[in-house]
Amino acid sequence: MNRENTHDNHYMITNVNLFNGQKIEEKQAIIIKNDTISSVISMDEACNLSLQTIDGNGALATSGFIDIQLNGCGGVLLNTDISLSTLATMNKTNLMYGTTQYLPTLITSTEKDLHNTLMMMADFKEAEQKGILGLHLEGPFISIEKKGAHQAQYIRELDLETAQLLAKNSASIKVITIAPEHISQEVLDCLTDADITVSIGHTNATYEEVNTKSGLTMATHLYNAMTPLGSREPGVVGYIFDQKPHAGIIVDGIHASYPSVRIAHQQLKEKLFLVTDAVTPAGTDLTEFDMAGTQAFVTDGKCHYEDGTIAGAAITMIDGVKNLINHVGLSREEALRMASLYPAQALKIDNEYGQLKENYKANITLLDKNNDVTATIQMGKVAYQK
């Protein structure tokens, strides 16, 4: 693959099998103009065109992965260093593992850190070209009882004044994770009216407490930091299985067992999408790291504090895809949909992202037969090649 050929950004990727989001079509070519797919054609048709070409060498072309919950990777963490260089490292690491779009995720922090993150995003004009679809604010408006790795001293309730501030910054905020038992419907409406997706997470709520609220269209890391499904109290897990909002799930074999992931997929189908919830060590061989001010460790792939509390994940999206295929038992196509189409649908951007079709953004991951990433195209540009 020769990236020199793409300087005018009108070129063609040839010799690929293409997963368009529904099915795999063999011997295809993808024509890219600027940051958009202008058409997908057969190799027979491609032979008659005189465009600059990149040979895909028989790889599977799939839509670039979309990670809705990414705290850090490549040795950096957004909470530890709120800067454009952190985002650049996260994007560079993502591209090596097939992720072309993500939501930088700020977990529970001080008001100053939240303000600084919003300011940084408001000033970042190239965000979309660098793979950023907006922020995911995971906290601080969560439940102390289900705080997980979040720092208790910064957890607070979301009042209307703060919600109005977040609504004013809705151009920078895509998702906010909240505990529904600690939020009024008026405050919830303020967020949803601003087109911010409100996700249920880090919650100690009962089924009824969630069911009395409207506008909750997503759930954060299913099973983790929420009340479990019980026979007499369905809990938040029961609410999700029953009402079927979109839900993210971490498929590392640590946050949820593989049979539990399979059960969730049977219940939620296209509403279940893959996330990493990755932190500093993802994409590296680090064994210790700073988790937003607390020392954390990696043992046998598990990120944890000294007391054993899970502190994020060390996987990449392609790791999750492989686990879905090899351990959960999903088809290659369904695993790829969970990494691309379903997150796009959850964010309501599946008219431009999550599929390889005409007029969609040119975000393309090339995979070999072992599902290893051989190249990544981000917004029309060759951004990584093995």
* Residue appearing with tokens 């009395």: 212
CB within 8 Å of 339: residues ≥ 6 apart: 65, 66, 98, 273, 274, 317, 320, 321
Could you check whether the bond before residue 140 is cis, i.e. omega within 30 degrees of 0? yes
CB within 8 Å of 123: residues ≥ 6 apart: none
Instruction: Report the candidate in 370, 366, 372 with the shortest Cα–Cα distance to residue 19.
Output: 366
Instruction: Report the candidate in 343, 351, 277 with the shortest Cα–Cα distance to residue 312.
Output: 277
Question: Does 278 appear as a known binding residue?
Answer: no
Question: Does 127 appear as a known binding residue?
Answer: no
- Asked whether the beta carbons of 9 and 379 are under 8 A apart, the reply is no
Question: Does 349 appear as a known binding residue?
Answer: no
Instruction: Report the candidate in 135, 179, 193, 188 with the shortest Cα–Cα distance to residue 159.
Output: 188
Question: Does 327 appear as a known binding residue?
Answer: no
Catalytic residue of the set 277, 307, 319, 372: 277
* Phi (first) and psi of residue 345, to 5 degrees: -65, -40
Is 277 noted as a catalytic residue in this protein? yes
Question: Does 310 appear as a known binding residue?
Answer: yes
Question: Does 215 appear as a known binding residue?
Answer: no
CA angle, residues 302, 224, 149, in degrees to nearest 5: 60
Rg (CA), the chain: 20
Question: Does 138 appear as a known binding residue?
Answer: yes
* Residue appearing with tokens 């604010």: 137
Distances (CA, A) of 315 to 55, 103, 109: 29, 16, 23
Question: Does 306 appear as a known binding residue?
Answer: no
Q: What SS3 class is residue 37?
A: strand
Report the distance separating Cα 20 and Cα 35, nearest Å: 17
Token code pair at residue 346: 């959850």
Question: Does 224 appear as a known binding residue?
Answer: yes
How remote is the C-alpha of 276 from its chain's centroid? 7
Question: Does 311 appear as a known binding residue?
Answer: yes
- Kindly compute the dihedral angle of the four CA atoms of residues 167, 168, 173, 177, in this order, to the nearest 10 degrees: -30
Question: Does 209 appear as a known binding residue?
Answer: no
* Binding-site annotation, residues for substrate: 149, 224-225, 232, 255, 310-312
* Binding-site annotation, residues: 138, 149, 202, 221, 224-225, 232, 255, 310-312
* Binding-site annotation, residues for Zn(2+): 138, 202, 221
Catalogue the active-site residues.
277
